[in-house]
Structure 1
Amino acid sequence: MSTSDPFPKRIVCLTEETTEILYSIGEQDRIVGISGFTVRPPRARREKPKVSAFISAKIGEIVALQPDLVIGFSDMQADIAAALIKCGIEVWVTNHRSVDEIIALIRRLGAMVGAYARADELACQAEQHIADIQIAAARLPQRPSVYFEEWDEPPISAIRWVAELVRIAGGDDIFPELAAESLGRARIIADSNEVIRRAPQIIIGSWCGKKFRPDKVAARAGWDVIPAVRNGDLYEIKSPIILQPGPAALFDGLDALHEIIMRVGMLSNLSNDKA
């Protein structure tokens, strides 16, 4: 970066997807602080000070870093944003919830740091990867139904970008009416019998911050009749690659979903043929 660089030179990223994007397009030197939840890329945790969780932040430490831009995500970080604005710091809060919005974020962030061409290349790679997965998924003889659980107590179903990725990967989310709800509390499955009634063929767990327990899920009252439980089709996808609305979800998260859905979909068809 030259001294005449007109773009933000000292950026604090309060969520991990913006950190991953900036590293992916070669603009990591602009980052001076990151979220403590950041895992991608691994080097970021070694190179950058961790100054926030998700709904809390070390305001004094952020101010001391003298950022010319802080990037946050959603109304969940509104209080952090307000505190920083009161300190005279410029804050940009994103609110991307869908696959298309994630791709738009990549391009927008790239433009903000003067690296639009590289960001556009990354976005195009994501769009091509999605198209390739859709073509492969179209070969499935039937689309398996999927219950995606991002928390267990209480059970919370898939957020919008995850539900969309499930569909791209070849499956159908069993709670599409809840996927549009941005807040986790609006996606709580109040009646677990509803999962039984919707009879998912696949159950995928991604319990943010703790290991998915398929045995615990299978032992829930009455769930033994669910096809996914009956056939042992309960799987874990690690939260950093699917619950982070950034490149991780569009590449590794989508691949993990597709592998599970294709395997179960093809095996289900073979079983039907034999029957």
Structure 2
Amino acid sequence: MQIIDQLQRVIQLEKTPKRIVSLVPSQTELLCDLGLKDALVGVTKFCVHPSTIRKEVKVVGGTKQAYIDKIKALKPDVILCNKEENTKELVEACALVCSVHVSDIYNLEDSLELIKQYGEMFSCSETASFIIEKISSEFENFQDFIRPELIIKVAYFIWKKPWMVAANNTLINYLLEVNKFENVFGHKDRYPEIEFSSSGIIANADLILLSSEPFPFKETHKKEVQEIFTKATIELVDGEMFSWYGSRLMMAFQYFKTLRLNLQSIPL
């Protein structure tokens, strides 16, 4: 079987992989929703969905620093990586163990393509098609909902010390646009560090979103930011909904709808 991953790398597989190592949390969740939980032999310490997965499957390290010796000992048929989540060095090291599939996600189309690829690669196309249809339906319904809503200028924070935001060429920015949130850092690339002050471009944001991941922003941080940006609305948001692809997208658009409805009661 020949598979072309999302970096256009050709992967040769003699048969359907039965032993899978996943080095990406959102892809681990997708595999389980595809009915492949029993085929997982290795995951990362950040793979938190389903909640029991780290107790049931061998943890091989993190997304940036996985232990190749532990991975090799599991004798995987395939290792699943992501261009953003995993380093080039880690992918290259994994390639010395077995075949490696690398995803590269920037928008909904990329996400659906990945689900389809997994369906073909793991012989579960019927379940993959169900997930794709569910996500597509939720997306279409959300588009109808969001169409009459006004555009809101936002800044989306992902880290503190240093302060970092999500900018252009990210799945987060794409989903902000889907929500009719205009990213005030949309002119910058990826995840830039910014100077956190009451002056500058961030002051143009009507809404500041503090993500639950990778930095776990809490109510205390919300108060801290509000003291500086007194005129902006500060909201804590579920980072998984804005940055996890795969089957998580089946829930994301309902979450976005609830978020937007809650914002309607706030003067922006």
- What's the TM-score, normalizing by structure 2? 0.83
Matched with 1:177 is 187
In 2, Cα distance between equivalents of 1:89 and 1:111: 19
In 1, Cα distance between equivalents of 2:147 and 2:160: 31
Runs of 4+ in 1 over 6 A off after TM superposition: none
* 8 A contact 2:78–2:100 mirrored in 1: yes
- The answer to whether residue 268 in structure 2 is matched with residue 262 in structure 1 is no
1:28 paired residue among 16, 37, 46 = 37
SS in 2 for 1:217: helix
Matched with 2:62 is 53
- The answer to whether residue 91 in structure 2 is matched with residue 78 in structure 1 is no
In 1, Cα distance between equivalents of 2:202 and 2:77: 51
In 2, Cα distance between equivalents of 1:37 and 1:72: 14
In 1, Cα distance between equivalents of 2:159 and 2:253: 19
* 8 A contact 2:222–2:235 mirrored in 1: yes
SS in 1 for 2:216: coil
In 2, Cα distance between equivalents of 1:100 and 1:128: 14
SS in 2 for 1:147: strand
- The answer to whether residue 212 in structure 2 is matched with residue 202 in structure 1 is no
Query: What RMSD over aligned residues (CA atoms) do the two structures have, in Å?
Result: 2.3
- Kindly provide the amino acid, as one letter, of the partner of residue 83 in structure 2: S
In 1, Cα distance between equivalents of 2:93 and 2:162: 31
Shift of 1:62: 0.6
SS in 2 for 1:22: helix
Shift of 1:191: 6.3
- The answer to whether residue 70 in structure 2 is matched with residue 64 in structure 1 is no
- Kindly provide the amino acid, as one letter, of the partner of residue 176 in structure 2: V
- Kindly provide the amino acid, as one letter, of the partner of residue 64 in structure 2: I
- Kindly provide the amino acid, as one letter, of the partner of residue 258 in structure 1: K
1:108 paired residue among 102, 112, 117 = 117
- Kindly provide the amino acid, as one letter, of the partner of residue 219 in structure 1: E
Over the matched positions of the two proteins, sequence identity in percent amounts to: 20
* 8 A contact 1:149–1:203 mirrored in 2: yes
* Deviations 1:141-191, CA, capped at 9 Å, x for gaps: x2222211111222222252122222223432222223xx34x3xx22246
In 1, Cα distance between equivalents of 2:202 and 2:91: 41
In 2, Cα distance between equivalents of 1:37 and 1:240: 12
Which of the pair is proportionally richer in helix?
Answer: 1
* 8 A contact 1:33–1:49 mirrored in 2: yes
In 2, Cα distance between equivalents of 1:255 and 1:201: 23
Alpha-carbon spacing, 1:262–1:143, altered in 2? closer, same or farther (3 Å): farther
* 8 A contact 2:64–2:87 mirrored in 1: yes
In 2, Cα distance between equivalents of 1:245 and 1:100: 11
* 8 A contact 1:97–1:245 mirrored in 2: no
1:10 paired residue among 4, 19, 32 = 19
Unaligned runs of 5+ in 2: 1-13
* 8 A contact 2:138–2:253 mirrored in 1: no
1:126 paired residue among 132, 135, 138 = 135
- Kindly provide the amino acid, as one letter, of the partner of residue 103 in structure 1: L
Shift of 1:209: 4.0
SS in 1 for 2:66: coil
* Deviations 1:15-51, CA, capped at 9 Å, x for gaps: 1122111111212221111111011121322321111
Matched with 2:162 is 154
- What's the TM-score, normalizing by structure 1? 0.81
- Kindly provide the amino acid, as one letter, of the partner of residue 217 in structure 1: V
Matched with 2:6 is none
* 8 A contact 1:137–1:262 mirrored in 2: no
In 2, Cα distance between equivalents of 1:236 and 1:254: 17
Deviates more, 1:57-66 or 1:155-164: 155-164
Shift of 1:95: 1.6
Aligned residue pairs, count: 248
Shift of 1:8: 0.5
